[in-house]
Amino acid sequence: MAEETKNPEVQEEAAVAAPKVELSPAQENPEQFLKDFNWEKYEEGIDTVDDKQLEEFEALVESNFVDTLDDDVVEGTVITITDRDAIIDINAKSEGVISLNEFRYNPDLKVGDKVEVLIDVREDATGQLILSHRKARVIKAWDRVNAAHDEGTIVNGFVKARTKGGMIVDVFGIEAFLPGSQIDVKPIRDYDQYVNKTMEFKVVKINHEFKNVVVSHKALIEADIEEQKKEIIGQLEKGQVLEGVVKNITSYGVFVDLGGVDGLVHITDLSWSRINHPNEIVELDQKLNVVILDFDEDKTRIQLGLKQLSKHPWEALGDELKVGDNVKGKVVVIADYGAFIEVEEGVEGLIHVSEMSWSTHLRSAQDFVKVGDVVDAQILTLDREDRKMSLGIKQLTQDPWTDITSKYPVGSRHEGIVRNFTNFGVFLELEEGIDGLIYISDLSWTKKVKHPSEFCEVGDKLEVVVLELDVDGRKLSLGHKQIEANPWDKYEDEFKVGTTHTAAITEIVDKGATIDFNEDITAFVPTRHLEKEDGTKLGKGEEAEFQIIEFNKDFKRVVASHMVIHKEEEAKIVKQAAKKAKAQADESKPTLGDANDALAALKKKMEGGE
Rounded Cα distance, 1 and 358, in Å: 141
What pLDDT does 432 receive?
A: 81
Residues 357 and 390 in one domain: yes
- Region of 324 (left: φ > 0; alpha: ψ -120 to 50; beta: rest) is left
Does residue 121 lie within any of the structural domains? yes
Residues 349 and 278 in one domain: no
Which 3 state secondary structure label does DSSP give 56?
helix
Of 366, 396, 426, which residue constitutes the final position of a domain?
Answer: 396
Residues 420 and 478 in one domain: yes
What pLDDT does 28 receive?
A: 58
Looking at this protein, which amino acid is placed at residue 311? K
Domain that residue 176 falls in: 152-221
Burial 177-187 (b: 16+ CB within 10 A, else e): bbeeebbebee
* Of 517, 535, 533, 515, nearest in space to 525 by CA: 515
Does residue 240 lie within any of the structural domains? yes
Residue 30: in which H helix or E strand, if any? Answer: helix 30-36
Of 342, 371, 396, which residue constitutes the final position of a domain?
Answer: 396
Taking the CA atoms of residue 97, residue 103, residue 109 and residue 113 in that order, the dihedral angle to the nearest 10 degrees is -60
Say if CB 385 and CB 392 are below 8 A apart.
Answer: no
How many domains does one find in the chain? 6
- Region of 27 (left: φ > 0; alpha: ψ -120 to 50; beta: rest) is alpha
What pLDDT does 19 receive?
A: 44
Does residue 44 lie within any of the structural domains? yes
Which 3 state secondary structure label does DSSP give 11?
helix
What pLDDT does 571 receive?
A: 64
- The CATH number of residue 339's host domain is 2.40.50.140
Does residue 250 lie within any of the structural domains? yes
What pLDDT does 438 receive?
A: 92
Residues 55 and 94 in one domain: no
Does residue 413 lie within any of the structural domains? yes
Residues 165 and 183 in one domain: yes
Residues 435 and 452 in one domain: yes
Residues 47 and 87 in one domain: no
Q: Using a CB cutoff of 8 Å and minimum separation of 24, what contacts does 266-272 make?
A: 266/303, 269/293, 269/303, 269/304, 269/305, 269/306, 269/307, 269/308, 270/306, 270/307, 271/306, 271/307, 271/346, 272/307, 272/310, 272/312, 272/313, 272/345, 272/346
What pLDDT does 1 receive?
A: 38
Does residue 477 lie within any of the structural domains? yes
Q: Which residues in the chain land under pLDDT 70?
A: 1-71, 93-94, 121-128, 297-300, 360-362, 569-610
Residues 213 and 157 in one domain: yes
Which 3 state secondary structure label does DSSP give 453?
helix
Which 3 state secondary structure label does DSSP give 9?
helix
CA quadruple 226, 232, 234, 237: dihedral sign: negative
pLDDT in tens, 421-438: 888 899 988 888 888 899
Of 457, 483, 509, which residue constitutes the final position of a domain?
Answer: 483
What pLDDT does 235 receive?
A: 78
Helices of type H across 152-217: none
Residues 197 and 246 in one domain: no
If you count DSSP H runs as helices and E runs as strands, how many of each does the chain have, helices first? 12, 30
Q: How far apart are the first and last CA of the chain?
A: 228
